[in-house]
Amino acid sequence: MKILVPVKRVIDYNVKVRVKPDGSGVDLANVKMSMNPFDEISVEAAIRLKEAGTATEVVVVSIGEKKAQETLRTALAMGADRAILVNTDTSDDIEPLTVAKILAKVVAEEAPELVIAGKQAIDNDMNATGQMLAALLGWGQASFASEVEIADGTATVTREVDGGLQTIAVKLPAVVTTDLRLNEPRYASLPNIMKAKKKPLEEKTAADYGVDLAPRLKVIATEEPAGRAAGILVGSVDELVGKLKEQGLV
């Protein structure tokens, strides 16, 4: 069984995001970038399925600028077999529907039996690409997975929902999106990082798949969250209650 794993290059989760002075977007200059944390979990899940003998090949794909090769090499160092970069020649974020359309073309070309994707990217929090991809392919889907088991052509997935946990079974081929509690991604060892440099990484463009990258949405402005207001010290419970009443909170 072949598994396809989409990965995205995003601002590292430890970095404090800065907005450009003109409010036109997020400042990416000299900012540390890394693999989207949810995608790391997806790569780890695919590699574990291969190590268990369930999968025979893990292919990672990224859609973005050429620098996304670094992210793909990280996935290869973790244990993926080969990588595909769909070079968009831009650092601008590609909309989920466009990403899903490109991934659908990659799926048609690669013919995997399972796509494992992160449930969302931490830069835009769209949480839409996996669902859109499943719809375009006409495949079953299981989102927010905290457990995944593959047997007899079926993926049994425990997913996190508002009311707790839900276990569903979907026939393969299928799309699964991962939640944080699915696993703890491994660190790539130095020998594996060196080996990853020799693993195949194929580069293509969106034009190769006949997909238009033109955005359908326009960002009007980007603003940082308002700073937290200073607190007020009170001398007694009565004064506290009085202040709360003034604010209409009680």
The larger pLDDT score, comparing residue 17 to residue 197, is at 197
CATH second-level architecture of 2-246? 3-Layer(aba) Sandwich (3.40)
Give residue-wise pLDDT tens across range 110-136: 999 999 999 999 988 899 999 999 999
- Mean pLDDT value of segment 75-87: 97
Distance from C-alpha of 74 to C-alpha of 193, rounded to nearest angstrom: 7
What is the pLDDT confidence band of residue 28, given thresholds at 50, 70 and 90?
Answer: confident
Highest mean pLDDT among 17-26, 128-137, 155-164, 225-234: 128-137
DSSP, res 66: G
Please tell me the chain's helix, strand, coil percentages from 3-state DSSP, rounded to the nearest 5. 30, 30, 40
- What integer pLDDT is reported at residue 36 of this predicted model? 96
Q: Is 200 exposed, middle or buried (0-12, 13-18, 19+ CB in 10 A)?
A: exposed
What is the sign, positive or negative, of the torsion defined by CA atoms of 175, 178, 184, 186? positive
Q: What is the pLDDT of residues 84-114, one digit of tens each?
A: 999 998 777 889 999 999 999 999 999 999 9
Longest dimension (CA), the chain: 71
Average confidence (pLDDT) over 71-94? 92
**Mean pLDDT (the chain, rounded):** 92
pLDDT at 198 over 90: yes
pLDDT band at 232 (very low <50, low <70, confident <90, very high): confident
Q: Report the predicted TM-score, pTM, of the whole model to 2 decimal places.
A: 0.86
Q: Reduced to 3 states, what is the DSSP secondary structure of residue 110?
A: helix
Q: What is the percent of the chain where pLDDT is above 70?
A: 100
Residues 76 and 22 sit within 8 Å (Cβ to Cβ): no
Region of poorest pLDDT, from 15-24, 147-156, 166-175, 209-218: 15-24
Burial (CB count within 10 angstroms: exposed 0-12, middle 13-18, buried 19+), residue 41: buried
Taking the C-alpha atoms of residue 237 and residue 29, their distance in angstroms, rounded to an integer, is 49
Structure confidence at residue 186 (pLDDT): 94
Quick check: 145 and 118 in contact, CB under 8 A?
Answer: no
CA distances from 176 to 29, 110, 134, 169, 212 (A): 33, 17, 9, 11, 26
Angle at 12 between CA 11 and CA 17, to 5 degrees: 55
Grade residue 37 by pLDDT with cuts at 50, 70 and 90: very high
Q: What is the pLDDT of residue 80?
A: 97
Q: Which of 4, 20, 16 is nearest to 219 (CA)?
A: 20
- CA dist., res. 215 & res. 30, Å (int): 26
Query: Residue 129 has what pLDDT?
Result: 95
Using only C-alpha atoms, the chain has a radius of gyration, in whole angstroms, of 21
Tokens matching residue 207:
């034009």
